[in-house]
Structure 1
């Protein structure tokens, strides 16, 4: 939605409404570090944007980042490269003074949790984002991110509902772990009510067959959340999530949305409720206008090669192929186009 924002706003009244609807927070901890107002430069490439998807949780629950996506935009701002960080990637998480976390090695999706504690058993997802951003920055070598967003998965569902569904190409047969064919939750085994087992559900499953379909909101969100039973597990899910973002952008820019004032207004309001945004001094509308010439066809989906870590027969997490270091260097040097020309296997071909 950040990439597509500029093309969505067609009237000044909608611009004002959209800007006011999106919650803006200091996701990178810059306000405390700066201590005063700083001059904000124009939005110019190259740019790196950190997008984090979470499940809705109360402030008494530890937040986990179920989806971590970096969008790299070259200096000419004519293209966007999206790559996902595996949620189970084992990394070094840096110390975080705000929570007293001393640093350690763990799965990257735990970083948000380690950074979120604010006392009295409460958690702040915004503060947790700060540590996650530092962790992703340490992994990739990206010194700072130019913008960031926390995206609520239920908010994504509301956006797709407002658009009237989304057309997606499903690239492999998938069975839902969570939902029945009618969209209702699958029943859970009583002995697993405490989440003590990996697959606590039973009964009929929603299925998604290879092909191109116009999906309802619950179907699209359910499809992109599945990883169990897939040949490449979370790597397949990462690809599906990237495809979903690209399909959403295409749908939002279609004539049946942007030329329909009522639908457009509903989409903008739903997007506002779905996001917590930090544009480093620029509003979501500023970013939208900066990206106004970009379309979904200008998005290239990148896959980072990796493998599971198995220790004494037990799954410990994921590790990236050594070539990922070269890819991250290409991101920092704004040479991604040249890198994927030499390494075409990094392109998600089913995008």
Structure 2
């Protein structure tokens, strides 16, 4: 009989394999191993309706989780939310639905007294960066709260039951601990950032890092790493996998957008989960420890008073193979000829209403075009 992986293992792999591993630890009784890690990344203050010292409560569906990937250049740089994923689990907790919020979605950015942010319209990935600038320091938790309000504003979701922030810098260490991943490459892709050897491509002389002039949207030059469309899974080194799912620009005559990148990130979710299962990571305490060490402090988690272990146990009977990834329609929003960002297309309001009313399954049966065929 085929072994079933816990859904939490797959959902959290989207934003950090460390939580995927935590699920396995909980299921094999590795409580001692977990104890030294939990306090490092648990921050219940991320959730608006939950105090930092909230008491644990029963975890019952329907549930929504906000999972955010950030890529800060350094500790003093306001973090942009480069990956925003919402997971919805229905009342019967039989499956999960994942959908992405485009990083350039043009939305209402809410005011925030702590950071001094004024309400305005802008790209949603700026919400976290602006909200994190508090008294001359970087407060990632406050930035996350501003982002959460912006996401709730555009989706109509009243509150999130759990949340996680992943620093993309920790992803490479995690994937290296897994030894790479195998993925089907669904389109030809050339890297904007790296050479065929995995090194940073040099910048054009006219596009310095500081005070970059206009016309430097693509500031790099020289040979590029490339990923050829394949019918079968191919083995990717850790740097290749992360580079592939990072790309969103058309290159070498191949059209590409952020919507393609969202799809590739969802494929990466499955690839990492399968890798962990194939190597018995979820049932081998020594392997779990290695992954946790690799994750380090790249993860911050809030579970409304419940620990990652309690979440893992609550979702242990869900099957990763039953998870559905959603592609929400959308396109560019313009003010005359000026590009403002992205906007959702027809049908998304109906989808968000289905999420609020916990009837996503029936909605997708009537709207199969929104289901990613992977």
Q: TM-score, normalised by structure 2?
A: 0.87
What is the 5 A alignment of 1:1-351? 1=9, 3=12, 4=20, 5-9=22-26, 10=28, 11-24=30-43, 26-30=45-49, 38-120=54-136, 122-193=137-208, 194=210, 195-196=212-213, 197-211=216-230, 212-229=233-250, 231-349=255-373, 351=374
| Structure 2 CA distance for partners of 1:151 and 1:37, relative to 1, 3 Å | closer
Output the CA distance in 2 between the equivalents of 1:20 and 1:163: 24
Q: Residue by residue, what CA displacement relative to the aligned partner does 1:143-189 show, whole Å, maximum 9, x if unpaired?
A: 11001111111212111111111121211111000001111111111
Shift of 1:74: 0.9
- 1:21 Cα offset (Å): 4.9
SS at match of 1:265: helix
Q: Mark the CA change 1:327 to 1:260 in structure 2 (over 3 Å): closer, same or farther.
A: same
Relative distance call for 1:14 and 1:293 in structure 2 (3 A) is farther
Contact 2:42 2:307 in 1 (8 A): no
Using the alignment, how far apart are the partners of 1:98 and 1:280 within structure 2? 22
Give the Å deviation of 1:6. 2.2
Measured after TM superposition, the shift of residue 246 of structure 1 is 2.2
Which structure 1 residue ranges, 5 or more long, are not aligned? none
Give the whole-Å Cα distance in 2 for the aligned partners of 1:24 and 1:253.
Answer: 28
CA deviation after TM superposition for structure 1 residue 102, in Å: 2.2
What SS does structure 2 have at the residue aligned with 1:139? Answer: helix
**Structure 1 residues 152 and 99: CA distance shift in structure 2, 3 A:** same
8 Å CA contact retained: 1:308, 1:315 = yes
Structure 1 window deviating more from structure 2 (186-195 vs 321-330): it is 186-195
**Contact persistence 1:8–1:253 (CA under 8 A):** no
- Structure 2 residue matching 1:68: 3-state secondary structure: strand
Query: Any conservation in 2 of the 1:249–1:295 contact (CA below 8 Å)?
Result: no
Counterpart contact for 1:8–1:252, Cα < 8 Å? no
Q: Judging changes above 3 Å, is the alpha-carbon distance between structure 1 residues 295 and 182 closer, same or farther for their aligned structure 2 residues?
A: farther
Residues 115 and 127, structure 1, Cα contact 8 Å, conserved in 2: yes
Q: Find the aligned partners of 1:260 and 1:282 in 2 and give their Cα distance.
A: 24
Pairwise CA distance, 1:191: 2.0
User: 3-state SS of the aligned residue for 2:255?
Assistant: coil
**Given that residues 194 and 200 in structure 2 are in contact (C-alpha distance below 8 angstroms), is that contact kept between their aligned partners in structure 1?**
yes
Task: Report if aligned partners of 2:87, 2:96 keep a CA contact under 8 Å in 1.
Answer: yes
Quote how far apart the aligned CAs of 1:311 are.
Answer: 3.3
In 2, Cα distance between equivalents of 1:287 and 1:23: 13
Runs of 5+ unmatched residues, structure 2: 1-8, 13-19
Deviates more, 1:235-244 or 1:250-259: 250-259
Q: TM-score, normalised by structure 1?
A: 0.92
Once superposed, what is the RMSD of the aligned Cα atoms? 2.0
- Asked if 2 retains the 8 angstrom alpha-carbon contact of 1:7 and 1:292, the reply is no
